Amino acid sequence: MLVSTLLLAITAIPQVQALEAEEQHVSMIPASIFPYEPSDRYASSVNYTLKANGVSVPVVKGFSDYDYAHFSMSDGPVTYELTILNTDKVHEYSISPKKLGIQADKIEGRTITFTTQSDEYLIVMMNNRKTRMVIAADPLETDVPASSGEGTFNIGSAPYHVGSSSSSLTQVSSTTAAIQQAIDDASQYGTHKGGGVQGTVYVPAGTYYIGNLVLKSNTAIYMEPGAAFVSTGRTADYTEHWFKNSMGRPATWWISTAFQSENIRIYGRGTIDGNGQALHDDKGSNGKGMINNLVVPIDTSHFVMEGIVIRESAGWAVVTVRSDDLTFRNLKLFNSLGMGENDGIDICESQDVVVQNAIGISLDDPFSTKTWKEDTDIASGKVPWPGNPEPVRNVLFEDTIAWTLCYGYKIGQGVMQDQSNIVFRNGVVYKAAVGFAIHHKYGTGTVNDVRFESMDVEDISGKNEDNSAWMTIFTVDGSNNGVGPIRDILVKDITVRDAGESFAKIKGMEGADITDLTFENIYMPGASEPATTLHEMNFLSKEHYSDVTIKPVQNEEPLPRTNLALQRPAVASSNDGVENTAPYVNDGKLTTRFGSKRGVDPGWIYVDLGESKTIDEVRLFWETAYGKSYRIQVSEDPSHEANWRDVYSTTTGKGGLETITFDEVEARYVRMYGTVRATIYGYSIWEFEVYGPEE
């Protein structure tokens, strides 16, 4: 029997090899490329041109930080020819996600040629130009509906007759009413058929300026490539649903679902364009402007959105509200990096949600989860959220790319109800102030069972408040209404290419500890082996936490060096208020700070070590207002300027945590002497620490 089995296996080897060879041959067939002609609303890029497998792909002028190209492709490799304009040649380049290891096959003049093996979302930087190139390659559409026939309601046909001209700004009311009628008719058809059937609203290529739409049960909206729903940018055309207190503006749910609806789908390769800057700036009748949530699945279930470009929201772009069984796939969230509070997708009080294969670009957080109370502004406006507050539960963010000035991936700030079983997997932080975080700021809910898996952190720069780190987990009593715990957190298989300008945090509060933390295979910048301590992971701010496990090896945390400046007398040149804040600079707390007078150079602060000591290191934990140019000086007698001597100076201060080492020197007084501020404020430091060689 054993011999027969072995002979059978040997006989099968050539067949297996032939099959593998055939699969390899098939995979080498170049992908077919299907470019899309964008809406005539969008200008062509003046920065780049693109070809994919020899096919020209339109590049759309996006925002000041990026342009983009969107197309579909079949299975197989694709070779790109990306040309940078208005320069003589390519001097340098980088292609992200870096984990893909994509390098140029050829650099010739202004063109780089490179290859991917399948459809990918990519961000390319050339010659360090601020405006990057975003390539959004989607898989082929496999379920394009017929443009006419039973169950299809084509808005360009009778009885709707919606034109596709960009001049339709003059007919917003009639255009919106006709499309809404098509939605109502499709819903009636699908509901009458039963069995999960959907009537299909077919949107041909074109530009459609519209007001508010409400999606009904058993309806699918298919947007052809080149179809664009565009906000008018006029507040008078939109319903106020709530008022955003932090921005001082009313907000509208531009495209939302009917309450208690189900079985709704938005798909295709079209664009939903919030025209957010124009709406934000239009004072209209209210004198305040308006913000828009572009797509709001609210009080709905079995909702799907796939393949769509979401562009330029003035508020949170996609907001799920008290809904369940939601899927978002092949989503391009293209927001401005110059407009605040324009999150990508926020999962609010919803359950069983999947966000897969998406790229999120926004000044504010691209991917996050939140829970609120009935009286929170977002939930209690002119049209309150229906039902009662709900938890967030069973959410997956997978195969995503985040580019932001804030948090790439975040739970919070609102945790007024529990949040549990939330997974961030195969995410790339292209650029952020914080890579990923749990930010428990508002509420007493519990954050439980969270996993950050296979995350790749490329660039941590800039700050959000005082945070600039690859990861933070912290609690703040933001509304003085109590706090809640964070527990059972797994952080696994993480590549940290940039740890950030400051330090990572695990910072609970009394009565709200952070517990049961597991870190497994965390590779810090330049390390060939996983980190074995929290210190190696740059977690330098730690309070009210317990039960930390580090795998595969956990070592004892290093004993802290003695901070010679701790709680010693401190003297400053000035203060940014009436209070003397100098003693806060070395009180051992990263929650209190020293600040010098706004707008004044030079600004300085020194600590008295009590007696002359040997020192070789200073650590400055800068607040947002840091020193661009400053010196570290020492003295035995601070009464005369001539007595101070420099041991370090810089004109390129970075802020955050700056660890400054120098040759051993004897000194009693140690000073930070700032000459050029990085901001309009003064010099602000959380902690000023001084170290010397240990005995």
pLDDT per residue over 83-95, tens digit each? 999 999 999 999 9
CA torsion sign, 61 to 67 to 72 to 77?
Answer: positive
Residue 601: inside a domain = yes
**Distance from C-alpha of 471 to C-alpha of 435, rounded to nearest angstrom:** 6
Residues 6+ apart with CB under 8 A from 561: 691, 694
Residues 6+ apart with CB under 8 A from 157: 148
The pLDDT assigned to 167 comes to 56
How is residue 416 annotated by DSSP?
S
pLDDT, tens digit, 9 for 90 and up, residues 336-345 = 999 989 999 9
Give all strands (DSSP E) within 591-656, no chain letters: 594-595, 603-622, 627-635, 645-650
Residue in 470, 517, 472, 467 with CA at minimum distance from that of residue 494: 470
Note the pTM of the prediction, 2 decimals.
0.88
Residue 554: inside a domain = no
Between CA 240 and CA 220, with CA 333 as vertex, the angle to 5 degrees is 70
Residue in 2, 4, 90, 75 with CA at minimum distance from that of residue 33: 75
The helix (H) or strand (E) run that includes residue 60 is: strand 60-63
Residue 248: inside a domain = no
Query: Pairing mode, if any, of strands 419-431 and 456-457?
Result: parallel
**Distance from C-alpha of 228 to C-alpha of 164, rounded to nearest angstrom:** 9
Residue 393: inside a domain = no
The pLDDT assigned to 3 comes to 35
* Residue ending a domain, choose from 83, 106, 139: 139
* Residue with token string 């930087």: 125
Extract the tokens encoding 101.
């290891």
**Distance from C-alpha of 299 to C-alpha of 206, rounded to nearest angstrom:** 30
Query: Pairing mode, if any, of strands 657-677 and 627-635?
Result: antiparallel
Domain total for the chain? 2
pLDDT, tens digit, 9 for 90 and up, residues 36-68 = 999 999 999 999 999 999 999 999 999 999 999
Count the Cβ atoms, other than its own, within 10 Å of residue 480.
Answer: 6
**Distance from C-alpha of 546 to C-alpha of 613, rounded to nearest angstrom:** 36
- Output b/e per residue, 285-300; b: 16+ Cβ within 10 A: eeebbbbbbbbbbbbb
Residue in 392, 401, 338 with CA at minimum distance from that of residue 364: 338
The pLDDT assigned to 166 comes to 54
- Average pLDDT rounded to a whole number, residues 497-525: 95
Instruction: Using a pLDDT cut of 70, give the percent of the chain over it.
Output: 95
The pLDDT assigned to 174 comes to 94
The pLDDT assigned to 27 comes to 54
Which residue type does 272 have?
I
Q: The CATH number of the domain where 582 resides is what?
A: 2.60.120.260
Peptide bond into 530 cis (omega under 30): no
Backbone angles phi, psi at 136, to 5 degrees: -115, 90
The pLDDT assigned to 26 comes to 45
DSSP letter string, 188-211: HHHHHH-TT--EEEEE-SEEEEE-
Residue 107: inside a domain = yes
Domain of 653 in residue numbering reads as 570-691
* Residue with token string 């921005």: 247
pLDDT, tens digit, 9 for 90 and up, residues 454-467 = 999 999 998 898 89
Q: In this model, does residue 16 exceed pLDDT 80?
A: no
- Average pLDDT rounded to a whole number, residues 86-108: 97
Q: pLDDT tier at 695 (50, 70, 90 boundaries)?
A: low
* Residue ending a domain, choose from 86, 115, 139: 139
Whether the CB-CB separation of 511 and 477 falls below 8 Å is answered with no
Residue 593: inside a domain = yes
Q: Is 12 helix (H, G, I), strand (E, B) or coil?
A: helix
Residue 531: inside a domain = no
Whether the CB-CB separation of 615 and 600 falls below 8 Å is answered with no
- Average pLDDT rounded to a whole number, residues 582-610: 94
**Distance from C-alpha of 121 to C-alpha of 366, rounded to nearest angstrom:** 15
From the DSSP assignment, how many helices (H) and strands (E) are in the chain?
3, 48
pLDDT, tens digit, 9 for 90 and up, residues 275-320 = 999 999 998 767 789 999 999 999 999 999 999 999 999 999 999 9
Residue in 397, 443, 455 with CA at minimum distance from that of residue 419: 443
Residue 24: inside a domain = no
The pLDDT assigned to 74 comes to 97
Q: In this model, does residue 524 exceed pLDDT 80?
A: yes
* Residue with token string 């609120």: 372
Q: Is 498 helix (H, G, I), strand (E, B) or coil?
A: coil
Q: The CATH number of the domain where 106 resides is what?
A: 2.60.350.10
- Largest interatomic CA distance in the chain: 97
**Distance from C-alpha of 59 to C-alpha of 40, rounded to nearest angstrom:** 13
The pLDDT assigned to 12 comes to 38
**Distance from C-alpha of 18 to C-alpha of 22, rounded to nearest angstrom:** 6
Q: What CA–CA distances, in Å, run from 522 to 30, 140, 493, 496, 531?
A: 37, 36, 6, 7, 6
* Residue ending a domain, choose from 139, 165, 186: 139
- Average pLDDT rounded to a whole number, residues 660-686: 96
Whether the CB-CB separation of 571 and 594 falls below 8 Å is answered with no
Whether the CB-CB separation of 207 and 164 falls below 8 Å is answered with yes
Q: In this model, does residue 383 exceed pLDDT 70?
A: yes
Reduce the secondary structure of 210-256 to three states and give it as a string: ECCEEECCCEEEEECCCEEEEECCCHHHCCCCEEECCCCEEEEEEEE
Extract the tokens encoding 28.
């080498």
Q: In this model, does residue 9 exceed pLDDT 60?
A: no
Whether the CB-CB separation of 627 and 674 falls below 8 Å is answered with yes
* Residue with token string 């070809």: 51
Partners of residue 522 on adjacent β-strands: 494
**Distance from C-alpha of 569 to C-alpha of 580, rounded to nearest angstrom:** 12
Residues 6+ apart with CB under 8 A from 335: 276, 310, 311, 312, 313, 317, 342, 344, 360, 361, 362, 363
The pLDDT assigned to 164 comes to 78
Residue in 267, 282, 160, 272 with CA at minimum distance from that of residue 212: 272
Residues 6+ apart with CB under 8 A from 2: none
pLDDT, tens digit, 9 for 90 and up, residues 442-452 = 999 999 999 99
How is residue 564 annotated by DSSP?
T
Between CA 49 and CA 57, with CA 51 as vertex, the angle to 5 degrees is 75
Query: Pairing mode, if any, of strands 603-622 and 657-677?
Result: antiparallel
Q: In this model, does residue 396 exceed pLDDT 60?
A: yes
**Distance from C-alpha of 46 to C-alpha of 69, rounded to nearest angstrom:** 13
Q: What does the mean pLDDT of the chain come to?
A: 93
